[in-house]
Structure 1
């Protein structure tokens, strides 16, 4: 059993490392192929790193690469992740940040286009996909992701929306330092990145599920076997057409868990009536798997 557990952990770690590599590649493509050529400033700590790089060229006369600035700026924020988010999450995020800095350094800057709007849209989409994919895989790109997740756990707001609020300051700084047209282009990139992050990172999206069934015990067993979710039972519900007695079950799951819910319903009561309301707001305790 011990050998099996060690094998499972090794497989999980290997998967997370591969996810880190995927994010590092996507983030490097966004920065080196779109953001830097288009003079677009990214969201989060990457945007701050870009600003420092630009200032080092224009004011100090020497070049500080974005990759080095990204690594240095993330170091103090690891403390937030360690104490507020999770130890394993922080360790793998550290690996992700190091890989991202490495790929940004070794991947050459390619000028696919200098059109700032095209760079903002495609750069934001690629970066948002990378961030959402990393979060969905139990990782993070570091920086403001730590702060965003900590706030999301307290308030229930989506990570993408929280990031947009934080990144208004980066947009303002870019406009103040380098011209307001760059602030507007960066705003497009930040908005697109936030929306793509929300679209990919589905664990944070809550869905209220109403189930009307004749086999409540089987449904409850199958759902709780596949997901850690509480279920409220309403007995003796009456249908208005035939006036037959059925049971109503109420629960809340995430969009990420929806395939598990569908599978549980197919196995327990495929004829049950299931209604799903998206993006509900939760007050009170809602179990979320530790990152």
Structure 2
């Protein structure tokens, strides 16, 4: 059993390291093929590193390239993650940010187009997919991700307002540096980036599940063997067509767990009826896998 666990751990480490490499390549493509040629600023610390590069090039005797700026900006957050989140998480975050910085420097810009709309959209898609893939494999790309995890653990709240304010600052800076049309293009790129992250990273999306079944105990046991979810039972429901007695089960899962839910239902009651809708908001405790 211990040998199997060691093999699984090694597989997870290799998967995370491979994802870090892929993210580094994708963010460098977004930066060097789209954002830089189109004068587009990204969101978060990547966008801040671009801004520092622009300002240092124009107003200071030394130029701080985005690759160096990105890594330097993250150093205080590496320390925060090491103390507040976990050592393994911090190690892979450092690896991811280092590889991103290295790839941005190593892969030279290719000016496919200077059209700011194309650059905003395709840069956002490429970077968003890379970020979502990283989050899906439980590694962080640094920056405000770390702050968000720490604040959510301490207070249960998100840092949505901080994220919005930070990105408004980046967009405003793009307007002052390149002209206000480019601020709007950067805003489009940030929105596309967020949508691409949501497309790739489904763990944070919550789904409300209603199951009508004749075999509630079997279904509950099967679901809970696949995922750590609480389930509420509504007794004595009645079918309107043939008036048979039914039980209704209610639970909430992440979109990431959809395949596990489908597998659990297929195993326990293939004739069960399930209605699944997106949950707009959740109050109260919802179990989330802890990062190490």
TM-score (norm 1): 0.93
SS at match of 1:287: coil
Range moving further from structure 2, 275-284 or 140-149: 140-149
SS at match of 2:139: coil
Matches within 5 A, 1:265-276: 265-276=265-276
1:83, distance to aligned residue in structure 2 (A): 4.4
Q: Following the alignment from structure 1 to structure 2, what is the Cα–Cα distance between the partners of residues 68 and 264?
A: 48
Q: Following the alignment from structure 2 to structure 1, what is the Cα–Cα distance between the partners of residues 179 and 25?
A: 29
Query: Is 2:264 the partner of 1:264?
Result: yes
- Equivalence for 1:78: 78
Q: Deviations over 1:24-56 (max 9, x none)?
A: 111010001001111111111011111111111
Q: Following the alignment from structure 2 to structure 1, what is the Cα–Cα distance between the partners of residues 162 and 269?
A: 39
1:172, distance to aligned residue in structure 2 (A): 1.4
- Equivalence for 2:55: 55
Q: Deviations over 1:264-290 (max 9, x none)?
A: 001110101111111331100000111
Mapped contact 1:164–1:194 kept (Cα < 8 A): no
Range moving further from structure 2, 41-50 or 176-185: 176-185
How many residues end up aligned between the 2 structures?
290
Q: Deviations over 1:103-158 (max 9, x none)?
A: 11111111000111110111011111111111111112111222344456656769
Mapped contact 2:124–2:190 kept (Cα < 8 A): yes
Range moving further from structure 2, 139-148 or 221-230: 139-148
1:167, distance to aligned residue in structure 2 (A): 1.0
Q: Deviations over 1:62-90 (max 9, x none)?
A: 32211111110010122343345443222
- Equivalence for 2:106: 106
Mapped contact 1:211–1:272 kept (Cα < 8 A): yes
Q: Following the alignment from structure 2 to structure 1, what is the Cα–Cα distance between the partners of residues 223 and 9?
A: 26
- Equivalence for 1:190: 190
Q: Following the alignment from structure 2 to structure 1, what is the Cα–Cα distance between the partners of residues 105 and 238?
A: 65
Q: Following the alignment from structure 1 to structure 2, what is the Cα–Cα distance between the partners of residues 276 and 182?
A: 40
- Equivalence for 2:146: 146
Query: Is 2:193 the partner of 1:201?
Result: no
- Equivalence for 1:234: 234
1:92, distance to aligned residue in structure 2 (A): 0.8
SS at match of 1:270: coil
Query: Is 2:283 the partner of 1:283?
Result: yes
Q: Following the alignment from structure 1 to structure 2, what is the Cα–Cα distance between the partners of residues 158 and 134?
A: 20
Q: Following the alignment from structure 1 to structure 2, what is the Cα–Cα distance between the partners of residues 54 and 289?
A: 39
Gaps of 5+ in 2: none
1:165, distance to aligned residue in structure 2 (A): 4.8
Range moving further from structure 2, 138-147 or 217-226: 138-147
Q: Following the alignment from structure 1 to structure 2, what is the Cα–Cα distance between the partners of residues 110 and 216?
A: 58
Mapped contact 2:32–2:108 kept (Cα < 8 A): yes
Report the aligned-residue RMSD: 2.0
Q: Following the alignment from structure 1 to structure 2, what is the Cα–Cα distance between the partners of residues 2 and 275?
A: 40
Gaps of 5+ in 1: none
Q: Following the alignment from structure 1 to structure 2, what is the Cα–Cα distance between the partners of residues 115 and 208?
A: 42
Query: Is 2:253 the partner of 1:253?
Result: yes
1:163, distance to aligned residue in structure 2 (A): 4.1
